Amino acid sequence: MKQSSDILLIDKPAGWTSFDVVAKIRGKIRADYTKQGIKPTKKQLRVGHAGTLDPFATGLLIILLGDACKQAGDFLKLDKTYEFTARLGQVSTTGDPEGEITDVSGVVPSQAAVEAVLQQFNGGIEQTPPAYSAIKIGGKRAYKLAREGKKVDIPPRTVTIYSLKSVTYEYPLLKCVCEVSSGTYIRSLVEDIGTALGTSAYCIKLRRTRVGGYSIDNATNIDKTK
C-alpha cells in the first residue's frame, strides 16, 4: 500500500468494526515498508477513521492516513446518507441484530400510516442515543457500562433529519433512505419510528452511502486496497 497524507474511502463489510479496518490498513502499510527493508515510523503508521460504523453495518468508512488524521474532527461534522431496513413488531436490546430480540406487537401499520409517520421525523428532532454506543458517560463508554449490566442514562440531543423516505414496505420490513446531520443514530431513529407507528422496531440492516461530498460509489473493498 502506498501511503501519503491522504484519505481512503472504504466500503466496510458487515461483521468488521471500524477499528478492524484501521488495523488491516495499518498492517498493509507496515508490510509494504518491511518488504523494502524499512522500519516505518509512528507517523508513517498513523491511520484513523472519520466516523464509526457499527459492526453489523456496511458502507462508506473514511480512512485517514498520516497528517490527514488531524482533520478527523472536520469529517465528523459532515452530514450523512444512510439506507436502512427496520423490522417492525420486535425490539432488540442493542437496537440491531446483535442484541436479544423480543416480540412486542402484532400491529400491522398501513402504508399510509408509515408515510405519515416518516414525515413527522423531517426537520429537527430530539433523539436519545442508544445505550450500546461509544458515547462517554462519566469517562467510560456507554456500551461498556451496558454490557456490565449498569444503567446508562444518556441525555437526549437535537439532530436534523433532512430527508426520510420509504423505499419498500412489506410488513414487517420497512426499507428507507435518509439524509441526516452528524450525531444522528439510525438505531434510535428506527426505534422511534416503531413507537410512532404504535408498535416497535429495530434496525436489521444499515448502509452508509455518503459522508459530506464523499460517496460510496468511489469506495473500494478492504481486500482490494493497495
Of 140, 132, 119, 122, the residue nearest 185 (C-alpha): 132
Per DSSP, which regions of 41-135 are E strands?
47-49, 58-65, 80-88, 90-92, 101-103, 123-127
**Is 6 marked active-site?**
no
Report in angstroms the alpha-carbon separations of 44 from 6, 19, 24, 32, 203. 12, 17, 15, 11, 38
Range 134-140, long-range pairs (CB < 8 A, 24+ positions)? 134/52
Set 6, 11, 32, 54: catalytic member = 54
The alpha carbons of the chain give a radius of gyration, in whole angstroms, of 19
Active site residues: 54
